[in-house]
Amino acid sequence: MRTSLRQGVLRLSLVGLSGGAWLGIVSTTHAGISYTTAEALYTENFNTLPTTPANGSLGSTPGGWIDDTASPAGGNFSLAGFHLWHPTVVSPEGGANGHQRLRAGSGSSGTGAFYSFGATTSSTERALGMVNSATVTPNGDSAYIALQLVNNTGVTLNSFTLSYNGKQFRSGADSGETLAFAYSTTATDADWFSTATYNSVAALNFTAPVVTATSASVNPANVVPISSTVGFSWAPGTELWLRWSDTQITSKDDDGLAIDDLQFSASTAAGPSLTVNSATTGPALTPSTWANNQAPDALHNYHVLSGHTVTVNGAFPGTELRALSGGVINISAAGNGQAISKITVESGGNLTETVGGAFTLGSAALLADASLASAQGELQTAQDLVFNADAGADVAIGLRLSGAGNIDVNSNGAGSDLIISDASSHTGTIRFNGTGDQVRLVKDKDFGRIDMNSTGENAFIYANTAQVIGGVLTFNQNGKIDHAATGNRIVQPSVINTTDKTVTVDLSKSFPTDERRFILENTLQGSGAINVVGSAADPTNLGSGGTNGTTLNEFELGTQTEPATLANNSFSGVLTASDYVNIELRKNLRGAKIVVNNHAVVDVGHPVVELTKTYEFGEIQVNNGGTLEVGFEASIAGAQIGRHVAELALVNSSGRSGSLTLGDGSTTVMQINGTGAHQYDTITAAGNVSLDGTLKIVVNPSAFTGTNSIYNPTLGDVFPLITLTGTSFAAADFNHSGAVDAADLSVWKTAFGSTNLGDANSDGVTDGSDFLVWQQQFGTTSGISGNFDSLVVEDPLGYMAGSGLAFQLSKTATALNLTVVSASPLAAVPEPASMLLVAATIPLLAAGGRRRSARLA
C-alpha cells in the first residue's frame, strides 16, 4: 500500500514509502484519513491487501476485515480510512462486525464477498472490489465500499478531484453492473451505510466494460480510467465520505468490479458547477426552462428557484431535480410513472401532481421490481407533502423515500390505495387519510412511521416480496394488517399501536413452506383490540395424519434475539386468537387480556429468556377448542418435541383483574422436569381462576439443552401448579371454598344468632339480612372454582409408568396442587380438596403431538 500526501503534507499512515522514507505522522485509528493541507494528494493502491487463500475464508469473526485501522492486529486486514458493509450478517467469516466478508481472488469465484482482487493468487498488484450475491445482500439492496476523510486544513474546501481505475475481474450472466459513486459531508460511522444522505456523481460511476452471456472471469482485468472534479462545500473539522455501492440483482450472477490506484485532492477553489438553476416556470425537458438553455442531462443537478414551477413531462435524465424554498416541482400526466433519478424538496419547497386518475411517482416499471433498486430513484423531502387521490384511484410512491418531511395521502373511496416501494430511510410520518382501502408495501424494505387514518377498509398489506424489519404502524381508525406477501413470513415491524381501535391481523393466506408468521419485534401499544385470524382448515395437516411440516399461523411478540429480561408492553386492549392461530408471547402485557378461541393456541415463554423471569399478563380467557401452553414448544434436532419451562402470572394492572378463565372444551398444557424452582410450569393469579376442560401434564419432554433436568417421580411430591396471590372471597362464601353454595347456608344456620361466622354484611351479627346476602350471591364463585374435566399425562420417557406412580389433582379455594400418588385405585378425597382426578400416564413418542418449525422465532 502506498498511502501518502505529497506537497509537504503530513503522513497519513504508518506505511513507509519505497526506501523507508516517512512523510509525517499518523492519523488516529477509527477516525478516517486526516486531510491537513488543501490541494495535497492522497493516494491508495491497495497492494497490502491479502493474496491468499484464494476464494477462501480469511478467518472466523472477528478475524478478517476490520474498518479503518492503520495497524490491524493479527488475523485482521484493514486500510486506514476504508469501510466495508454488506447488509446480511455472515458467520463465521463476516469480519469484525459480521457485515464485512473479505476474500482474495482473481474473479474465478461467484461467492458473494468483498474481494482483494489480483491477476493471480501470488500477484501483489491488488484492487479492492466486490462480487455481490443474495447471501450477503438481499435482492435490491446494496453493499458498500467507503473512504472516510476529515477536513483538518482549517479552511472550507470547495471542490475535490477524484481519480481511480475501475477494474472488472468477473462478468456475471448478462448483468452489466455499475459501481455507483456518491459522496456525503453529513454521514457518520453510525449511518454511512444506512440513512445518511449522499450526493450522486454519475461521472465517477464505474460500469462493467465486459458483458458475457455466462458468468466468467475476465482476467486480466479490464481497466477504465475514471476522473472528475466536483464542486461542493467541505467545512473544517467535518467528515467527507466517498462511497461506491453495488446493488444485488435478482436472478443473475453479479459482476466482480473493483477500484484501484485511487487519487484524491481537495481545493479551496470552486469546482466546475454541476448545478443548473431554473430560469422560468416551464416544462422540465424544455431547455429554455433552465439557465443558459441547459437541456437536462445526467451530469447536472437541476434546482427550481423560488417563484418557479417546473413540470416533469417525461423521464427526467438529470442527476437531481431539487425544489428550493418557494420552488415547486409538479408531475404532469406526461411525467406520470416516468423514471427520475432523484427529487429533493427543501423546507419551503413543494412537490405536486396534476395527473388525472392513478398517479405513480417515479418509474412504474420499477415500482415493485426488487432487482433494480439502484435505478429506482429517490424522493428526499424536508418539507411536508400532500397528495390528493382522485375517486377510486391509487397513489404510488415508486421512489425510495428519505428525509424528515411528513407525507399525507388523502385517499378517495373504494379502490383508492397507497402503494409504497421503499420507505426504509424515511424519518417522517406517512399518513393514509380519507376514505380509501389499502396501503400496500410491495418491496422487502423497512418503513419508518405510517399512520392508518382512513375510514374505509384501512388495511395495511404486506404484498409481493415484503418481509420487513422495522417500522411503527399506528391505527387511528379501525383497520386490518394482511400478510399477503409471497415471502415466508413478515419479520419484525417494531411497533403496532392500535390507539383505541380494532385491528384484524389476517394470517389466512396459503404459503408453500412451514413459516406462516407475523413477528412483532418490540412493542404493542394502545387500548384497542387485536384479532388474529388464521385459516379455515388446519394448515399443519397433523389432524389427518399428515407430515407436511407446516406450522400453525403464528403471531409472535418478541424475537429469538429477545433480551434475557422481559420488557413490559403498554398495550391494555384485548388480543384474540382464532382459527388455527398460535400466539407466542415473549414480552409482558400487564394491562392486556388474551382470548384464545377454537383451534387457537397461546404459548408463553422462550429459551432465550431467563428461567427466573415471570411472564405477566392482565387476564387470560381460553374458550372451547382453545389451548393455553404454559411454556414454549418447538421441534429441535431430530424432529424431537422440546419444551421450555415458564412461570405465568396474571396480575391486577391497568384495570385488569388478574383472572384466568379456562372454558369447557379448552386445553391447558403444563410441563414437569423436576421439583425444584423453575423446573416445572406454574401459574399465579391475582384474580379469580375458573377451571374447566382438559389439563395435560407433560413429564420430561425432550428439553432444550441446559434448560431442564430429568424428573424422577417420588411418592408424595407436590407441585403447586396454580396459586392465587390476592383473592378476596364473596361475602357469603363463609367457608372460603370459592363458591357460594349450600355448604355456606349450613354455616349461616349454625352461626345464626350466636357467632359472626355467617355475618355477610359485616354488621357484627349473623341474622336474616345475612341470609338475604347469601341468596343474592348464591352461585357466585371466587378464588379457584370449577374443575378440570380430565387429566392427561404425557410421559414420553416412561418415568411415571415405570415407577408405578400417578398424579392426583387436589384443589382448595386458593391453590391447585398436583400430587404424586400410587397408581393403585384411589379413594375420594373429601373437601376442600374438591378435584378428584387420577390420571394414567400415557407414554408418547417424542415426535408426537403438535409439530412446530425447527426455528424458534
Q: Within a domain: residue 324?
A: yes
Considering 226, 246, 267, which residue would you say is the last residue of a domain? 267
Considering 232, 267, 302, which residue would you say is the last residue of a domain? 267
Is residue 469 packed enough to be buried (19+ CB in 10 Å), middle (13-18) or exposed (0-12)?
A: middle
Separation of alpha carbons 726 and 179, rounded Å: 66
Q: Could you tell me if 226 and 333 lie in one domain? A: no
User: Per-residue pLDDT for 693 more than 60?
Assistant: yes
Q: Could you tell me if 175 and 287 lie in one domain? A: no
What is the sign, positive or negative, of the torsion defined by CA atoms of 65, 67, 69, 73?
negative
Q: Within a domain: residue 482?
A: yes
In tens, the pLDDT along 81-127 reads 999 999 999 888 888 889 999 999 999 999 999 999 999 878 999 99
What is the sign, positive or negative, of the torsion defined by CA atoms of 77, 82, 86, 88?
positive
The cell numbers describing 309, all together, are: 414551477
What pairing do the DSSP bridges indicate for beta strands 256-267 and 239-247?
unpaired
Q: Distances in Å between the alpha carbon of 838 and those of 167, 178, 653, 669, 794?
A: 78, 73, 36, 16, 14
How many domains is the chain partitioned into structurally?
5
Which residue is listed with cell 382453545?
Answer: 626
Q: Could you tell me if 541 and 589 lie in one domain? A: yes
57-66, 72-81, 390-399, 769-778: range with lowest mean pLDDT: 57-66
Q: Could you tell me if 696 and 767 lie in one domain? A: no
Q: Within a domain: residue 515?
A: no
Q: Within a domain: residue 524?
A: no
What pLDDT sits at residue 549? 55
What pLDDT sits at residue 63? 84
In tens, the pLDDT along 157-175 reads 999 999 999 999 998 876 6
What pLDDT sits at residue 5? 40
Considering 338, 355, 372, which residue would you say is the last residue of a domain? 355
Which residue is listed with cell 387420577?
Answer: 838
Max mean pLDDT among 118-132, 485-499, 607-621 falls in 118-132
User: Per-residue pLDDT for 640 more than 70?
Assistant: no
What pLDDT sits at residue 15? 32
What pLDDT sits at residue 99? 93
What pLDDT sits at residue 679? 87
Which amino acid makes up residue 59?
A: G
Binned at pLDDT 50, 70 and 90, residue 30 comes out as: low
User: Per-residue pLDDT for 847 more than 50?
Assistant: no
More confident residue, 551 or 600: 600
Q: Could you tell me if 64 and 186 lie in one domain? A: yes
Q: Within a domain: residue 506?
A: no
More confident residue, 94 or 809: 809
What is the SS3 string spanning 37-59?
A: CCCCCEEECCCCCCCCCECCCCC
Within 8 A by CB and 6+ apart from 627, the residues are 596, 600, 601, 602, 666, 667, 668, 669
What is the sign, positive or negative, of the torsion defined by CA atoms of 138, 140, 141, 147?
positive
Binned at pLDDT 50, 70 and 90, residue 13 comes out as: very low
Q: Could you tell me if 603 and 730 lie in one domain? A: no
Binned at pLDDT 50, 70 and 90, residue 807 comes out as: very high
Q: Could you tell me if 115 and 234 lie in one domain? A: yes
More confident residue, 279 or 424: 279
Q: What spatial distance separates the first Cα and last Cα of the chain, rounded to whole Å?
A: 45
56-65, 292-301, 490-499, 561-570: range with lowest mean pLDDT: 561-570
Q: Could you tell me if 122 and 247 lie in one domain? A: yes
The cell numbers describing 28, all together, are: 488516529
The residue-averaged pLDDT of 395-417 equals 95
- Residue 658 contacts residue 726 (beta carbons within 8 Å): yes
Query: From its phi and psi, is residue 637 left (phi > 0), alpha (psi between -120 and 50) or beta?
Result: beta
Which residue is listed with cell 471542490?
Answer: 159
What pLDDT sits at residue 797? 84
Q: Could you tell me if 79 and 228 lie in one domain? A: yes
What pLDDT sits at residue 673? 86
What pLDDT sits at residue 442? 82
Long-range contacts of 388-393 (CB under 8 A, 24+ apart): 388/412, 389/359, 389/416, 389/434, 389/436, 390/356, 390/357, 390/358, 390/416, 391/416, 392/416, 393/357, 393/358, 393/359
Least Cα distance to 829 among 807, 856, 806, 810 occurs for: 810
Binned at pLDDT 50, 70 and 90, residue 350 comes out as: very high
Strand-pairing partners, residue 589, are: 617
Q: Within a domain: residue 251?
A: yes
User: Per-residue pLDDT for 852 more than 60?
Assistant: no
Q: Within a domain: residue 507?
A: no
Q: Within a domain: residue 819?
A: yes
User: Per-residue pLDDT for 177 more than 90?
Assistant: no
Q: Could you tell me if 566 and 714 lie in one domain? A: yes
Least Cα distance to 1 among 120, 128, 151, 170 occurs for: 128
Q: What share of the chain is helix, strand, coil (3-state, %, to 5)?
A: 5, 40, 55
Q: Could you tell me if 85 and 222 lie in one domain? A: yes
Separation of alpha carbons 166 and 182, rounded Å: 15
Which amino acid makes up residue 833?
A: A
Question: What is the span of the domain harbouring residue 728?
Answer: 722-787+804-835
18-22, 316-320, 552-556, 618-622: range with lowest mean pLDDT: 18-22
The cell numbers describing 415, all together, are: 379502490
Q: Could you tell me if 374 and 432 lie in one domain? A: yes
Separation of alpha carbons 841 and 828, rounded Å: 19
Percent share of the chain, pLDDT over 90: 53
Q: What is the DSSP-derived secondary structure letter of residue 373? A: G
